[in-house]
Amino acid sequence: MQATEIQRSQITDNRHPLVRMGSGVAVYVWQFPLRLIHWGLVISIGALAFTGYYIHDPFIVGQAHRPFLMGWFRFVHESFAMVFIALFLLRIYLFFYGNRWETWRNYVPLHWAQFAEMWQMVRFYTFVRPKPVPKIGHNSLAALSYAGLYGMIFIEVLTGLVMYNTLRHSALLGFFVGWVPSVISIANIRLIHFGLMFVFISFGILHVHLAMLVAREEKNGLMDSIFTGYKVISADQVEAELAKTADEGKAKRL
What pLDDT is attached to residue 183?
93
Residue 189's contacts (CB-CB under 8 Å, 6 or more residues apart) are: 159, 162, 163, 180, 181
The one-digit pLDDT tens for each residue of the chain (254 residues) are: 333 443 555 566 666 767 776 667 888 999 999 999 999 999 999 999 999 999 998 877 656 666 788 889 999 999 999 999 999 999 999 999 998 899 998 899 988 989 999 999 999 999 999 999 988 999 999 999 999 999 999 999 999 999 999 988 888 898 999 999 999 999 999 999 999 999 999 999 999 999 999 999 988 889 999 999 999 988 888 877 777 665 555 444 44
What pLDDT is attached to residue 4?
43
Q: What end-to-end distance do the CA atoms of the chain give, in Å? A: 23
Q: Are 246 and 239 in contact (CB under 8 A)?
A: no
Closest CA to 154 of 91, 103, 79, 110: 91
pTM of the full structure: 0.86
**Residue 102 main-chain phi, psi, to 5 deg:** -110, -10
What pLDDT is attached to residue 251?
46
What pLDDT is attached to residue 23?
67
Closest CA to 7 of 251, 254, 248: 248
Q: What is the CA radius of gyration of the chain?
A: 22
Identity of residue 10: Q
Domains along the sequence of the chain with CATH: 1-26+229-247 (no CATH), 30-228 (1.20.950.20)
